[in-house]
Amino acid sequence: MTDHAAATSSKTQGLFKRLRYRHLYMLVTLGTHKNLHRAAEALHMSQPTLTRMLQEVEDAFGCSLFDRQPRGMTPTPVGEELLKFAHSALNSLDRCVEDLTARAQGGYGHLAIGVVMGSALDEVVVTIATLKKASPQLGIRMMSDTSDLLIDLLEQERLDVAIARLGAPGDRSRFEFEPLGNDRLVFAVRAGHPLLEQPAIPVEQMVQNWTWLLQPAASPGRKALERWWADQDMLPPGMTIECSSIWAMLQLVQLTDAIMVLSEAVIHDHVRTGLISIIEQHAIEGLAPYGIILRKGAPRSKELQQFLSHLRGAMKTGPSA
């Protein structure tokens, strides 16, 4: 072992002896509230006790983790990194407890799956049904959200796998990505919208005269839309409604005259039933592919491997198989 490795190992062993999960929980709570008094109340302890715990952790790392300010506390750069680790460690502990509890009760563990709306949602649902049929006592939790939020949950180890799109440039260094397919963004409005009566709809008119119903700024779809506006030499519209819920967007577009921008797969059923209509003159091609996203280097449970195998099969044969 090199001198550097030995020193690193010695420091790590020292942290093992001094740090406890209660310290990590304290850090996460303090990072959430950014205030000693409120964090102490949330932890049901006195403020001096919390201050001593924080000092213990800062002494262990040999640096300040929070900047003390008159109206609160903000994490230092080192504190930000430690908070990420604390979130990840506590989420891993939660998942371990869930899994062990399920197995102790005769179950077969847990699987947490995130999927972006549209994309391979039908295939994911079929895969879950197939997996549940084969392992009735397997606990499965599925959630649907925007890609950026799913990736955050995956990084926090609150998901085992995400079926989504990579967004930030650094995502590929942190995650494994296996593309499954692609989609395009379309512009949709309620049935009977005045724009549908026009044979040609200039982009300028759409941007200047109408409210736009948009996903959050960090979502891949929103980023693609903003690039499209820039390619058209257009400033973003001044009248917008930003919404993180796909279901809420699908309701709002039917109740307003807003122009909604979503992937074609997401709105397919609503278009088929006549609830909303697509403005055919415009679409955004070249959306980043969606696919299987996994944490690099993370172990894969037997249940996760089975899910991935079934999903790949469903993608080849279609969701009706």
> What structural domains and CATH numbers belong to the chain?
3-86 (1.10.10.10), 107-182+289-317 (3.40.190.10), 185-284 (3.40.190.290)
Low-confidence ranges of the chain (pLDDT < 70): 1-18, 99, 102-108, 119, 318-321
Nearest Cα neighbor of 128 from 160, 175, 92 is 160
What's the pLDDT at 321?
A: 43
- Structure tokens given for 250: 């699908």
Output b/e per residue, 20-58; b: 16+ Cβ within 10 A.
eeebbbbbbbbbebeebeebbeebeeeeeebeebbeebb
Looking at residue 98, its pLDDT comes to 73
2 alpha-carbon distance from chain centroid? 40
What phi and psi, each to the nearest 5 degrees, are found at residue 218? -80, -10
- Torsion angle, CA of 196/197/199/200, rounded to 10 degrees? -60
Cα separation, 64 vs 79, in Å, equals: 8
Question: Which pLDDT belongs to residue 119?
Answer: 67
Helix 47-61 to helix 3-18 angle (10° resolution) is: 170
Please give the order of strands across the beta sheet that includes 259-263. 240-242, 212-214, 259-263, 185-190, 276-284
Cβ neighbours of residue 99 under 8 Å, at least 6 residues apart?
109, 110
For the record, the structure tokens of 279 come out as 């403005």
Alpha helices in the chain, H assignment, sequence order: 3-18, 21-33, 36-43, 47-61, 77-104, 121-134, 147-155, 171-174, 203-209, 220-231, 246-255, 264-272, 302-317
Is the C-alpha dihedral spanning 263, 264, 270, 274 positive or negative?
positive
Q: Are strands 110-115 and 139-144 parallel, antiparallel or unpaired?
A: parallel
Q: What is the pTM of this model?
A: 0.62
Q: What pLDDT is recorded for position 41?
A: 92
SS3 74: strand
pLDDT at position 12: 63
Structure-block tokens of residue 292 = 């299987």
Q: List pLDDT tens digits, range 82-135.
A: 998 888 888 878 877 776 776 665 556 789 999 987 768 889 999 999 998 888
